[in-house]
């Protein structure tokens, strides 16, 4: 099969394994997803969800984040890796959203990536999971690792990996879905140190099965 057919087969098989794929971060609003995604960099989603459970009860609006005392806000997320920088970016983004976007998280890649701390991966997650808009494919460590192992890319750079996947992926409507499916499979089966080949539904079509 060619690469496009292979991607369709990957999606088909993973959808059977994970019939209701969704982002692992808990959120109710687009800004809550922005906060959770920024916090999740180099921190597990499980830990982020523990922190945001309390955080989202304390800060209910974008203005609450913008108006929070910096020291108090930093303390609220202090168990998160790199919390100082993340706190600064979240509060700066909140202020920018109020000043430039009428208090609403923007719905375009260009506008989202203009926010402090929001790179393309974060923007893709927000667009897809909060707004149902697919401008690209979110590439985290799992997506990059699986894309390399499955032969969908030869690149290490996340932007180039994203471009390679988009070139062979199904219609835009499924771009957010394929990212989440790869993430779920990466966490459960195709782990970084020791992929579980004997449990992998992609084993026979994976060129890296002998690693």
Rounded Cα–Cα distance for residues 76 and 57 (Å): 12
**DSSP per-residue letters across 79-141:** TSTTHHHHHHHHHHHHHHHHHHSTTS---SHHHHTTSTT--HHHHHHHHHHHH---SS----H
Residues of the chain by 3-state class (helix, strand, coil), percent to 5:
60, 0, 40
E strand or H helix that includes residue 48: helix 45-58
Task: Please list the active-site residues.
Answer: 121, 140
Write out the two tokens for 73: 């806000």
DSSP 2: -
């Amino acid at each position: 099969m060619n690469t496009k057919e292979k991607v369709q087969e990957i999606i088909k098989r993973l959808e059977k394994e994970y019939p209701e794929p969704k982002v692992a971060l808990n959120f109710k609003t687009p800004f809550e997803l922005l906060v959770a995604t920024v916090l999740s960099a180099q921190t597990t989603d499980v830990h982020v969800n523990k922190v945001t459970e309390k955080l989202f009860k304390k800060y209910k609006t974008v203005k609450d984040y913008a108006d929070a005392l910096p020291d108090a806000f930093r303390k609220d997320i202090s168990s998160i890796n790199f919390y100082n920088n993340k706190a600064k970016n979240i509060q700066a983004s909140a202020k920018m959203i109020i000043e430039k976007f009428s208090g609403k998280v923007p719905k375009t890649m260009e506008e989202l990536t203009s926010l402090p701390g929001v790179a393309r991966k974060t923007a893709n997650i927000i667009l897809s999971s909060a707004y149902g808009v697919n401008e690209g494919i979110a590439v985290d460590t799992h997506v990059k690792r699986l894309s390399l192992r499955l032969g969908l890319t030869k690149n290490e750079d996340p932007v180039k990996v994203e471009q390679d996947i988009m070139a062979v992926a199904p219609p835009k409507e499924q771009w957010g879905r394929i990212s989440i499916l790869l993430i779920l499979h990466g966490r459960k089966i195709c782990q970084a140190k020791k992929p579980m080949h004997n449990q992998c539904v992609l084993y026979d079509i994976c060129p890296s099965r002998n690693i």
